[in-house]
Amino acid sequence: MSPRRPRAARRSPNRPKPGGPETPDDRSRSPSPQPPASPLPSTPFLVRELPTYLDHLAVERGLSAASVAAYRTDLSAFGRFLAERRLPATRVARADLGRYLSSLRARGLSARSASRALSAVRGFYAFAAAHLGFAEDPTADVTNPKVGLSLPKALAEGEVESLLAAPDTATPLGLRDRAMLELLYASGLRVSELVTLKTVHVSFVECALRVTGKGGKQRLVPFGRSAGTWLAKYLEAARPGLDRKRSPHLFLSARAGPMTRQRFWQLIEGYGRAAGIASALTPHSLRHSFATHLLEHGADLRALQMMLGHADIATTQVYTQVSRSRLRRVYDEFHPRAGARKDGPRKGGARIGPGRRRAKMSE
């Protein structure tokens, strides 16, 4: 008789679900295994020209690893397209780029994603003409697909307060999460900038962070009293217990490693559900909220550009569109001649009818 096989251990009811609060027993949650991609064809573009361009982006232009990886993904797809047609990168014509864009849209890519892919190809050919001896730039007369203006979605101030209050600050990990959320909303950092902060980048004297953003550019970003209070509590009461490896990083995981973008994304989704926020929530939602709320309370656009780390103020101006739409609603509701109200203007907080207004005008 064969020995009885032991039963599999039952899942503990207290074990957190993905996206819920982290515990010290949590294992790093990597995405489900994906089928391996087919190997890249051995073409001059994929073997020599593309790696040379990626090295240029990383070393000479100082792009982040995430940005270089995005260029690699887009341009590798372009390389596969060329390989399938046995077309060298040096002989690509405008019509070929049109067919490439059509293939992207046929795969279900949005106009924004197709535009980004074309921008990557455009950047490569500008580099190739200057450094690789390419005779022509086929992207010179190609226009990017039209992309509608996508306004950033900001949370209401009440929703932000609910989100900030969601972590259980009686636990070290909840205290860490409250400090991260407070700092993200107080400074408008990108999530990659937040998780790469080190303890030496925080100045409580100046109430400012020294942040390294896109392209390796550094900037000073202020933070307020509330964020400073929660950050100090985390550093005093929670971080020492998490720092078992003497890490320089500011925010640490339960396993003593640096917090990752993916894990923080899961956490903020979980806290958004706990706070009763119906809309989809990402770390960038707090960055959008930071910018929108500052503008609504009278912040200067140029100062906001510096805090957000935008190279071009046109990128920052998209937030004025959000504030402008809200301003329109306020105007329509409260201006006496906006035409939105039919029961007369206000006087001292009370409404007065048309007859009373005529009497006042004749006095």
Residues assigned a catalytic role:
190, 214, 284, 287, 310, 319
Alpha helices in the chain (DSSP H): 44, 50-55, 65-84, 94-106, 111-131, 157-164, 172-187, 191-195, 225-233, 239-242, 261-274, 283-296, 301-308, 313-316, 318-334, 354-362
Provide the token pair at 92. 């690509």
Q: How many CA atoms lie within 13 A of 143 on its CB side?
A: 3
Three-state DSSP state, 144: coil
* Contact of 253 with 242, CB cutoff 8 Å: yes
Query: Using CA atoms, how far apart are residues 56 and 62, in angstroms rounded to an integer?
Result: 8
Closest to 220 measured CA to CA, from 210, 206, 212: 210
Which residues, other chains included, contact 236 with Cβ-Cβ below 8 Å and sequence gap of 6+?
none
Decide if 91 contacts 82 (C-beta within 8 A).
no
2, 14, 24: which is closest to 244 by C-alpha?
24
Q: Which of 303, 54, 26, 320 lies closest to 188 in space, CA to CA? A: 303
CA geometry: angle 235, 205, 176, nearest 5 deg: 20
Gap between the Cα atoms of 181 and 277, Å rounded: 15
CB atoms within 10 A of CB 117: 21
The amino acid present at 189, given as its one-letter code, is L
CA distance 363 to 355: 13
Place of tokens 């887009």: 74
C-alpha to C-alpha distance for 173 and 23, rounded to whole angstroms:
8
Q: Coil, strand, or helix at residue 4?
A: coil
Q: Supply 32's token pair.
A: 């489900």
